[in-house]
Amino acid sequence: DGGITQSPKYLFRKEGQNVTLSCEQNLNHDAMYWYRQDPGQGLRLIYYSQIVNDFQKGDIAEGYSVSREKKESFPLTVTSAQKNPTAFYLCASSTILRGSNQPQHFGDGTRLSIL
Amino acid sequence: KNEVEQSPQNLTAQEGEFITINCSYSVGISALHWLQQHPGGGIVSLFMLSSGKKKHGRLIATINIQEKHSSLHITASHPRDSAVYICAVRLNTGTASKLTFGTGTRLQVTL
């Protein structure tokens, strides 16, 4: 079945370490997104990409980096510059049709905790 | 003030009850989404609305563009409906695919 796969489901990081969260989709979607979810807050956009080798910062990009070398993959690196990385991270994807809004498909998320 | 406000924040209902979750927004939008997040964290898209009403099974979503308000209704609620329901809007300005999210309504349906 087509879908979005995020791995790992749980991730622990020591302070000062970079960590990379994986997101893979086999839906042939052009656009991919990374969101952060904190208790009591709505999802916030970290980065998004609408085409291979191109991506844009979202609302809270500081301390994060991404790459989009393949259409299917959009890994997110949480760097040591991110001072409060403990959160639930969700990856999503969607098609892009000019003038038409398309639903986003979400993965099951990765919960990142600092040791 | 958040651009997207949901009410109530928490809701407990008995099985079989009719449930309404509300979403209000303060900006011009091109579409509104209702999403369901289960305890494990995964999110499923329920509806995407630009106007009027949509129905899928026991779920009904309505939107009033003039009043900047949408409702999600669940008829004959069941414990398996227990989840967090999230409203998200796509703004008229900016990138076509960016969404702004509400903080969610946590629904618990008991037997």
Nearest CA in chain A to B30: A101
Share of chain A above pLDDT 70, in %: 95
Coil, strand, or helix at residue A46?
Answer: strand
Give the Cα separation of A67 and A74 in Å (integer).
Answer: 6
Is the per-residue pLDDT at B1 higher than 90? Answer: no
Q: How would DSSP label each residue in B71-93?
A: EEEESS--GGG-EEEEEEEEESS
Is the per-residue pLDDT at A99 higher than 70? Answer: no
Give me B99's structure tokens. Answer: 């969404």
Closest by Cβ to A31, choosing from B4, B33, B97: B97
User: What does the pLDDT look like over A45-82, one tens digit per residue?
Assistant: 999 998 999 999 999 999 999 999 999 999 999 998 88
Residue type present at position B73? H
Share of chain B above pLDDT 70, in %: 95
Give me B22's structure tokens. Answer: 């509300």
> Do B86 and A104 lie within an 8 Å CB cutoff?
no
> Do B41 and A105 lie within an 8 Å CB cutoff?
no
Residue B106's pLDDT band, with cuts at 50, 70 and 90, is: very high
Give the Cα separation of B48 and B66 in Å (integer).
Answer: 17
Closest by Cβ to B97, choosing from A42, A94, A106: A94
Is some CB atom of chain B closer than 8 A to the CB atom of A58?
Answer: yes
Which chain A residues are within 8 Å of B33, Cβ to Cβ? 103-104
